[in-house]
Structure 1
Amino acid sequence: MDPKTLGCLLLFPIQMLYCIVRATVSCLLPARRKSLAADTVLITGGGRGIGRHLAREFAKQGAKKVILWGRTEKCLKDTCEEISRSGTECHYFICDVANREEVYRQAKVVREKVGDVTILVNNAAVVHGKSLMDSDDDALLKSQHINTLGQFWTTKAFLPRMLELCNGHVVCINSILSQSPIPGTIDYCTSKASSLAFMESLTLGLLDCPGVSCTTVLPFHTNTDMFQGMKVRFPQLFPPLKPEVVAQRTVDAVRTNTTFVYLPWSMRALVILKSFLPQAALEEIHKFSGCYTCMNTFKGRT
């Protein structure tokens, strides 16, 4: 073994220990938060639900401009007017992220009319709440296009300029279901798993790109119209998240350059359990918690 390789092998455990100690210390000390005063934020699905709360929170935390993308003009207009009244410059554009050509066209319009986007929040999503056999092909394709491919296209549209500026942040509002799927929403779980893999790969790919970062948010069931009717067995132990809390934690993660955010933090335990428990035990956890049947009463917005 040559001396260089031997040196790398000896140094590696020290590097691992350093990373663990640094992460531990970071958890104990208050994190430094960057200013958003020079940032232009674009939020997909920004007219309602978590998207509307994200717009409010970015404005509250001092973002220079907020841009809303969505498919429903009334929702976009209402949210835009609210943000503008708060004193933050806000614009909205009708854009279906499932349509690649429309994404690229509207991205060009945004750059010409508003300027460079420095924070991209991929929030738009759909869920159909049906089994594979009950879902038609068009519905499955719609989930893949909005939840997965839409994120590809928006990132391709805005990331190159961020890299040129050495200033940018790509955010994905994902779901814990990307790592712990449940029955009755196979389209959503599959597309979110794909979205998570995209963000993990993108995060690693940007390690040597100064000034450009990524954040992936993995929330539990959130109390929005999208998941209306979804029920777990012990709502007192596993209450649905408030969308404003998801928004607050997301914006804070951007300001602190946090890569992954689990909401609530206890969802990390679920991911750890999956790494060593047998499948039969995981199935019992799903049945005990009510996740196995939680979509039976689903009637949310798609």
Structure 2
Amino acid sequence: MNLFLELLLFLAILIYSYLEAFLKLFIPVKRKSVCGEIVLITGAGHGIGRATACEFAKRQSRLVLWDINKHGIESTAAECKRLGATVHTFVVDCRKKEEIYSTAEKVKKDIGDVSILVNNAGVIITADLLSTQDQEIEKMFEVNILAHFWTTKAFLPTMMNNNYGHIVTVASAAGHAVTSFMLAYCSSKFAAVGFHKALTEELSTLGKDGIKTSCLCPVFVNTGFVKNPSTRLGNVLEIEEVVNKLMEGILTNQKMIFVPSNLKIALFFEKLLPERALGVLRKIDSIKFDAIIRNKQ
């Protein structure tokens, strides 16, 4: 096919895609069932991970919960069992590659093949670069992005053999737009968004269209990890609101899940506005939270 015909085809697909998106505004999207699916969630002892586990429990999924905090994960497991789910727990430090691989082998041998992987574990330090310790930077990258590689490499082969599964990346709005005093965190979340996009493209190139991918990108969430967050142009989100959007995204195979949904519009305009105008807008927004700042004015 010559270039002219390829461009015509592209134009036709573009128009069709816009029409399809418009019609979907009025037609309910079909939701898939996750009943009986083996769902592995990292960082399941607290916050978004815990609430996500409970939502899967309500849908009768079989749960495999990982967390570094034994008390937290046992509390999550107890709640999920009350909801009627079968639950297996493992204390795992997602900074350690070999621990991830060895625990993944136990899961595959003793429980079965994971069909939904939720890479949720994450850590954050709020400080300016010079106040952030080297080991803190390393920890954020080890948990927030490198662990995604190790868990996905552990469970993706079976998904590929079956051409079936779902890989969820819990990232952040900080993976699309930066905030001062979160330099290492933003960098790790940009990497997580890139991981999701590159993995999605690679699976498509390999013809593995039965493996779905989703990436969650919320603004500030009231999980307690960031102290006293506030913004003039938006709200700090509650965990339940975020997880409801996440589950809707998983059940309808959404690739990118922004919370709130109008965040994608704001990110679009950020690419169009001049740098000086963006600077004024950031001052108007006045994002604030507790942070360690060495040379604070």
Short-chain TM bin: over 0.9
Residue in structure 2 matching 1:59, options 54, 57, 60: 57
In 1, the alpha carbon distance for the partners of 2:102 and 2:241 equals 33
Residue in structure 1 matching 2:109, options 107, 112, 121: 112
Q: Deviations over 1:103-133 (max 9, x none)?
A: 1000001111211100000111111001111
In 2, the alpha carbon distance for the partners of 1:43 and 1:297 equals 29
In 2, the alpha carbon distance for the partners of 1:61 and 1:21 equals 33
Mapped contact 2:116–2:166 kept (Cα < 8 A): yes
Q: Deviations over 1:131-165 (max 9, x none)?
A: 11111111000001100101111111111111112
Mapped contact 1:184–1:295 kept (Cα < 8 A): no
- Matched position secondary structure for 1:225: coil
- Per the alignment, residue 147 of structure 2 pairs with 150
Segments of structure 2 that go 5 or more residues without pairing to the other structure are: 293-297
1:18 aligns with 2:16: yes
Mapped contact 2:120–2:170 kept (Cα < 8 A): yes
CA RMSD of aligned residues (A): 1.3
- Per the alignment, residue 129 of structure 2 pairs with 132
In 2, the alpha carbon distance for the partners of 1:270 and 1:280 equals 16
Residue in structure 1 matching 2:186, options 174, 184, 189: 189
- Per the alignment, residue 29 of structure 2 pairs with 31
Shift of 1:9: 2.3
Shift of 1:297: 5.4
1:295 aligns with 2:289: yes
- Matched position secondary structure for 1:195: helix
- The amino acid that maps onto 2:53 is A
Using structure 2 for the length normalisation, give the TM-score. 0.94
Q: How does 1:228-243 map to 2 (within 5 A)?
A: 228-232=227-231, 234=232, 238-243=234-239
Mapped contact 2:230–2:236 kept (Cα < 8 A): no
In 1, the alpha carbon distance for the partners of 2:7 and 2:282 equals 42
Shift of 1:62: 3.0
Shift of 1:257: 0.7
In 2, the alpha carbon distance for the partners of 1:7 and 1:284 equals 45
- The amino acid that maps onto 2:77 is C
In 1, the alpha carbon distance for the partners of 2:55 and 2:98 equals 30
- Per the alignment, residue 295 of structure 2 pairs with none
In 1, the alpha carbon distance for the partners of 2:26 and 2:101 equals 43
- Per the alignment, residue 223 of structure 2 pairs with 224
Shift of 1:248: 1.6
In 2, the alpha carbon distance for the partners of 1:199 and 1:141 equals 21
In 2, the alpha carbon distance for the partners of 1:255 and 1:102 equals 30
Shift of 1:190: 0.4
Shift of 1:215: 0.3
Mapped contact 1:44–1:69 kept (Cα < 8 A): yes
Please identify runs of 4+ aligned residues in structure 1 that moved more than 6 A.
none
In 1, the alpha carbon distance for the partners of 2:247 and 2:107 equals 22
In 2, the alpha carbon distance for the partners of 1:296 and 1:88 equals 38
In 2, the alpha carbon distance for the partners of 1:157 and 1:204 equals 19
